[in-house]
A and B are shown apart, each in its own frame.
Chain A
Amino acid sequence: AQSVTQPDIHITVSEGASLELRCNYSYGATPYLFWYVQSPGQGLQLLLKYFSGDTLVQGIKGFEAEFKRSQSSFNLRKPSVHWSDAAEYFCAVGAWSGGYQKVTFGTGTKLQVIP
């Protein structure tokens, strides 16, 4: 079975600083990987996804993530954080199981942005 680890529960960065959120996955084959963002009182919104091909994936809102098979990682990055990026971020891994793509979510990383 697949699993996802987000080692940082909470991260604080200054507005304008760079950001990297860590994600490690466990899965025997090539996984499908996702990053979602959740603002308070809202559902999860897809930021980006990786299925195959180029290991550097561009997403919405200026985010990108890099798939590193050797490290089983899919870290999310943004060069300059905006106050509106404050939210909770979830990494997820999808794997085909029983005929459907079962997605397992990490426990999330809460991002606080300070002026």
Chain B
Amino acid sequence: DAGVIQSPRHEVTEMGQEVTLRCKPISGHNSLFWYRQTMMRGLELLIYFNNNVPIDDSGMPEDRFSAKMPNASFSTLKIQPSEPRDSAVYFCASSDSSSNQPQHFGDGTRLSIL
């Protein structure tokens, strides 16, 4: 079975540029989560979607960050404009919330903003 698929795996770009991270959740899962992982702050939940609708975006750090889920099989996390402090590993996870199933994580996108 295909797991959560994220792209790109690595992204290096200059500050001020727009960055778009992509996620394909596991088929049949109705919940999708975006996390950010850094040494200083650990694993932070940025936003949670349920049935393609954003439910909790209280973790989104600033207006520079936005996330969309146009359909059940695709989500994006966009940073515009990017800053060096946005450098981190960004994870997408999905789950079937209807049956208390745990979250399944993708392999992450390692983002470096120069």
Contact = CB atoms under 8 A, between A and B. Distances in A.
A68 interface: no
Interface string A36-77: 100001111110010100000000000000000000000000
Contact of A43 (B55, B100, B105): B105
Given A100-B55, A101-B97, A108 B103 contact: no
A100 B56 contact: yes
- Chain A's interface size range is 20 to 34
Nearest to B105: A43
Interface residues of B, number: 22
Q: In this complex, which of B102, B106, B108 has the most chain A Cβ atoms within 10 angstroms of its Cβ?
A: B102
B100 A32 contact: yes
Interface stretch (B43-51, B60-68, B80-88): B43-51
Contacts of A100: 31, 48, 50, 55-56, 97
9 contacts: A32-B100, A36-B105, A43-B4, A43-B105, A49-B102, A51-B100, A101-B97, A102-B56, A103-B45
Interface of A: 32, 34, 36, 41-46, 49, 51, 90, 94, 98-103, 105-108
